[in-house]
Each structure stands twice: as C-alpha cells, then as structure tokens.
C-alpha cells in the first residue's frame, strides 16, 4: 500500500501520480537502492516506480529498462538517469543518480570492511546464500509481471524465447545477441500509420 503522502497526490486520467519533484526522485531512488540488497534491483525498481509511486506505466518502465540495458554501464544506474531525466531533465538525472548511489555506496564500504573480518564464519556464508535466493525470486517475479504485459503479443514472446534459448543453451554472448535482435525488434515495433490512415 503506497504511503499516505502519495495516496493523497492528485492523479492523472490514466491513474498516474503527478510527476515527481527533485526531492521525490532522490527519495524514490534511495528506496530502490536500499530495498535491493543482494540483487533484484530491476524488480524493486518496477515495484516502487510503477506499483507504489505510480510515476510510470508498466509499458513506460519496460521501455526505459530496455534503453538502460542497451547502453554501457550498470542497468539500474542507467535506469535512474532515465527516470530522473524523463521528469526533470538534467537536474532530475543527477538527483536520481545521487539517490541511487550516495547512501548505498557509503553502506557498502562499511559492510565491506565488516565482511572481510567475518566472511569465514559459516553462519555468515549461509545468510548470504539466503539473500541471493531471495534476489533470484524477485527477478523471477518481475519476469512473470513482464509476461503478463506481453502475453497477447506473440512476436514479443517469440523474441524473448529465442533470446533465452540462445543464451541458456547455445551460450551466445550478450553483445552480439543485442546487436542482432535489437534492430529486428525495433524495426518490427517501429510506429507505423494504420491501414485506414494510409487510404
């Protein structure tokens, strides 16, 4: 359930909340970063940006995530820049990036120092294994949400299945796969005038 401050925001006709300000972007990206220890950043980002704060539709979020994955660098850093820039331009991108990195980086440094002192303790190793399992579950959860969005689109399902088979069974590297499939997908989904408009 979204926080009361978000529930009271006026919504647009499509059910989205008002565009976030710089402070909202900073806090929202911090929430994403601090919710996703052990992985699952994309899943947490989708849950917070789309489901809780209602800044974007699921389709808009997936578009941004696709763009983020096409550019070099960590996906969620690119995604934070995309979200911030979408609403507040360059200042929004910088603020969202700071929200994603500032506190988590500081905590990571502190935890790293502690980890190197206690990482040989078996109980610590088992706890970390549990965190990894939870992150895998979050990634699967996001995959099923995406499937629900595109289940009526056979081309998207064929592309997803083909890419999965190529990577999982034929061990095709990511960069050549993106270079081949991305232009095909963009050509197929490129906006076209409807038949009625052409007549």
Q: Do 101 and 12 share a structural domain?
A: yes
Clarify whether residues 19 and 80 are in a common domain.
yes
Per-residue pLDDT tens over the stretch 30-83: 999 888 665 667 888 888 999 999 999 988 998 898 888 888 888 889 999 999
Q: Which of 107, 134, 161 is the last residue of a domain?
A: 134
Token reading at 143: 């995959």
Between the CA of residue 197 and those of 43, 193, 194, what are the distances in Å? 39, 6, 5
The answer to whether the predicted template modeling score (pTM) of the entire model surpasses 0.85 is no
Q: Sorting pLDDT into bands at 50, 70 and 90, what band is 192?
A: low
Percent of the chain clearing pLDDT 70 (strictly above): 84
Which residues in 64-104 belong to E strands, given as ranges? none
pLDDT in tens, 142-159: 777 777 777 788 888 888
Return d(Cα 174, Cα 66) in angstroms, integer.
14
Per the domain annotation, does 145 fall within a domain? no
Return the DSSP state at 11. B
Burial 41-66 (b: 16+ CB within 10 A, else e): bbbbbbbbbbebbbbbebeebbebbe
Q: How far is CA 87 from CA 22, 41, 55, 75, 144, in A?
A: 9, 21, 9, 19, 27
Q: Looking at the structure, do residues 59 and 16 belong to the same domain, yes or no? A: yes
Q: What is the pLDDT of residue 87?
A: 95
Domain of 13 in residue numbering reads as 4-134
- Report whether 42 contacts 75 (CB < 8 A): yes
Domain-located, residue 142: no
Name the domain count of the chain. Answer: 2
């Amino acid at each position: 359930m979204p926080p009361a401050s978000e529930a009271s925001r006026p919504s647009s006709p499509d059910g989205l909340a008002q565009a976030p300000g710089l402070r909202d972007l900073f806090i929202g990206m911090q929430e994403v970063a601090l919710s996703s220890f052990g992985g699952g950043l994309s899943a947490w980002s989708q849950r917070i940006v789309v489901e809780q704060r209602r800044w974007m539709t699921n389709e808009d979020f997936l578009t941004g995530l696709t763009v983020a994955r096409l550019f070099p660098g960590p996906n969620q850093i690119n995604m934070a820049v995309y979200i911030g820039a979408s609403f507040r331009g360059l200042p929004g991108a910088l603020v969202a990036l700071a929200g994603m990195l500032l506190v988590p980086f500081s905590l990571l440094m502190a935890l790293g120092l502690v980890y190197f002192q206690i990482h040989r303790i078996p109980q610590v190793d088992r706890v970390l294994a549990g965190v990894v399992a939870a992150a895998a579950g979050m990634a699967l959860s996001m995959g099923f949400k995406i499937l629900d969005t595109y289940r009526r689109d056979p081309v998207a399902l064929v592309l997803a299945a083909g890419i999965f088979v190529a990577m999982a069974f034929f061990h095709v590297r990511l960069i050549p796969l993106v270079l081949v499939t991305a232009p095909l997908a963009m050509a197929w989904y490129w906006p076209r005038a409807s038949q009625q408009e052409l007549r």
